[in-house]
Chain A
Amino acid sequence: MSRRPARPSVPVTIDGEEHLAYEGETILDLARRVGVRIPTLCQLDGLSVYGGCRLCVVQTEGDHRLKPACATEVTGDLEVTTSTHEIREHRRRIVELLFAEGNHICAFCVSTGHCELQDLATEHNVDHIHYDYEYPRNTVDASHPKYLLDRDRCVLCTRCVRVCDEFEGAHVWDIANRGSESRIVAGLDIPWGESESCTWCGKCVLVCPTGALSFKGRSTGEMVHDPEVISFLSRARREGEWVGRKEQV
């Protein structure tokens, strides 16, 4: 990751307001910089772009397709709309589908109250799921001495896969299979506790947006993740400034 150019120079309009973006900046980065909220799920500052969840879709003038803001770089004179009825409906449906295809039982989840999926549901006024639930038969991996993987709660955002590869350099995690069969596996689908490459660093647990990855021994609502630690590390590396997190915020 290189340092950004000194001055923003690309004119971009977001929801009718003109802004100057840095070259190579994504629509999401710009929106955040100027205080416009675009919901996200798979995206995490500091990790490579995946663009898989599609929660961050926006409309750009002259293009009927919705585009993921986290994976679309700005170009000059771009006109972006971040929130129309259609966009919000689209996002709400994505959230509902995530609920329908997993076994997300919030009532006794380790992360209830601190879950990005649960928050997205309330943000989008989801008071029930219009789709039929899949009730997939998933497995729990409790073989690691310190951590737990509950695939019922996984939304396949790949944050864990990316952080393990890109920050820890261990590449324990991958996605096996395709489509609705997709699931997170350690190594070549071995129990996590038997993985020799896992360094026990716990970064995958910190970045997980839901209760899928947790510290063992946490009860309902007790698992609070800390994805910002990765954003901090990434910024520190990039800027060469290891200012304490607390001082920074």
Chain B
Amino acid sequence: MSTPNGNGNGQPRKLRFATAWLGGCSGCHMSFLDLDELLFDLAEHVDVVFGPLTDVKVFPPDVDITLVEGAVTNEDNVEIARAVRANTRVVVSFGDCAVTGNVTSLRNAMGDPDPMVRRVYVDHPDINGAMPTEIVPALLPQAEPLHELIPVDVYLPGCPPSGERIRNALFRLVESLEAGEGIPDMDWRTPDDLRFG
């Protein structure tokens, strides 16, 4: 444990753990839930303080680990990614969309997204065709991998990364932070822990 301990009852402070969902399909989060019973083990070491699985609206301070799913594809993603970076010790680029842009970045080769959005929202609907202006955040000119916007500490590729791959990386990370050793060396990874796709 690298941070000052204690919750008052002699228990060491748990790590503060968050997940964020940018431009991805949520498949990585589904895969995270595939940890199944290991989620109980994880819960002994971490408190989940933010993410689609919590009802917290503003990204909290002093987070130890954040898994970020999805590419940076709209203005909202930029805001969340920056908040994550500013408040997290170890940012994990979680899954191929965050790591490579992946499916979310398919639009990039076609240039300006405006004509595509127009095609879907204006040309095609039978009624009320209009460009979305409210609530829906504006698209960026290109969808980019997370590390193009903020520094990333650990990369966890896969579409989605399997539960096993998440377990291998996450538990090592938790162990290492608890031991006060910072970000672990990722050289242990086999091809099974790395492969894109």
Contacts and interface: CB of A to CB of B under 8 A. Distances in A.
Interface residues of B, number: 31
Q: A-side binding surface: helix, strand, loop or mixed? A: loop
Nearest to A123: B191
B142 A135 contact: yes
B56 interface: no
A66 B147 CA distance: 31
Contacts of A105: 100, 102-103, 105-106, 197
Contact of B109 (A103, A118, A122, A129): A103
Given A122-B195, A127-B194, A107 B110 contact: no
B64 interface: no
A105 B196 CA distance: 8
B97 to A, nearest CB: 9
Contacts, number: 74
A242 B101 CA distance: 47
A112 interface: yes
Interface residues of A, number: 27
B69 interface: no
A109 interface: yes
Nearest to B154: A127
A132 B187 CA distance: 24
Contacts of A103: 106, 109
A200 interface: no
B83 to A, nearest CB: 22
Contact of A125 (B100, B105, B147, B194): B194
A106 B196 contact: yes
Nearest to A112: B197
Contacts of B147: 128
Listed from nearest, the 4 A-B pairs whose CB atoms lie closest are A106-B197, A107-B159, A122-B191, A135-B108
6 contacts: A99-B100, A103-B106, A112-B197, A118-B197, A127-B157, A137-B111
Interface of A: 99, 103-109, 112-113, 118-119, 121-123, 125-129, 132-133, 135-138, 152
